[in-house]
Amino acid sequence: MPQLSVSVQGEVPEEEVKRILEIIVQLYEKSPFKAPEAVEVVVVDTISRRERMMREEEKKLGVKASEDYPVTHEAWLGKPRIVACVESLAKLAPVIAKASILVAAAHSVLHGSQEYYRYRLSPEAVRRGREKGWDTEHLERFLYLVASGIKNLAVAKLLVRCGFIPEHINLALDQLSIEESEKSLWQFVEGNNIARALYLASLLKNILFAYPSIPYAPYLATRIQEITAHLSPSAAWQLRSLGMELAQTFPGDSKSFFIPAFERAWSKLVEGNIV
């Protein structure tokens, strides 16, 4: 069991802090993998306070702050850190709130060091990209989206393996949604090779997260079809087949799979290979 270093920012009831810690510990107790030696847990009362904290850290560390989720995980300083926002969690259904905490705890087990947050393109990938008009910034963004999807897949597999299947299914269903504005964007990016590939890669993260529970909840596969129904038939097939291929061939370690997954995503979403 890791040593938990807990800090509270703002006015948070003691029982709420205890509840969050209990869920984190549940994951550590059931995980078949070695937990990190130490984990920092920050519990923040309001969304505005959390946003201020993240902006300050982004400026100080020179890295992009974690995405705007109720509970986040990062390891930029070499030690896993979980940040939970009580106000954000209160807006969620209890099972989804619990799942969000479990996801962050799983990330701390699987991705608790800096190496899982630094992505490097090979010279060959850069050369290939330039031949198709991609600059380094867009290539790095594509790699980031694919790597994020792989980490999501690893976390989902761990949740299922630990028996948190209802929590995973509910969170996966919640994430497998798409706004009308996002659907409308497709018609503007479809004709641009770079924008098209980045758009499809952005959908990959939630698709990969859902795959491990499809045997227990086949309607997740239906939901994947629904959130890709606005795409052209070829694009929808490329994306769904890529998700299935990555889910089936994932070796277990995220970092070792970042580049192979990038290559497969490049082949399907950029080169247009559907085999």
pLDDT of residue 140: 94
Q: Whose CA is closest to 83, among 34, 28, 32, 10?
A: 10
Structure tokens at 207: 């698709």
User: Is the distance from CB of 99 to CB of 168 less than 8 angstroms?
Assistant: yes
Phi-psi region of 218 (alpha: psi -120 to 50; beta: other; left: phi over 0): alpha
Helix, strand, or coil (residue 62): coil
Task: Express each pLDDT in 218-229 by its tens digit.
Answer: 999 999 999 999
Q: Whose CA is closest to 83, among 116, 46, 41, 38?
A: 41
Range list of β-strands (E), the chain: 3-9, 38-44, 71-74, 81-85
What does the pLDDT average to over 94-112? 97
Q: Where are the domains of the chain?
A: 3-116, 123-270
pLDDT of residue 112: 87
pLDDT of residue 275: 47
Q: What is the percent of the chain with per-residue pLDDT over 70, rounded to a whole number?
A: 96
pLDDT of residue 119: 82
| pTM exceeds cut of 0.95 | no
Asked if pLDDT for residue 134 goes beyond 90, the answer is yes
Using 50, 70 and 90 to split pLDDT, how confident is the model at 65? low
pLDDT of residue 48: 93
Distance separating the N- and C-terminal Cα atoms of the chain:
44
- DSSP for residue 266: I
3 - beta bridge partners? Answer: 38
Task: Express each pLDDT in 193-216 by its tens digit.
Answer: 999 999 999 999 999 999 999 999
Q: Which residues, other chains included, contact 46 with Cβ-Cβ below 8 Å and sequence gap of 6+?
A: 10, 85, 86, 87
Mean pLDDT over the full length of the chain: 92
User: How many CB atoms are closer than 10 A to CB 161?
Assistant: 15
Task: Express each pLDDT in 229-246 by its tens digit.
Answer: 999 999 999 999 999 999
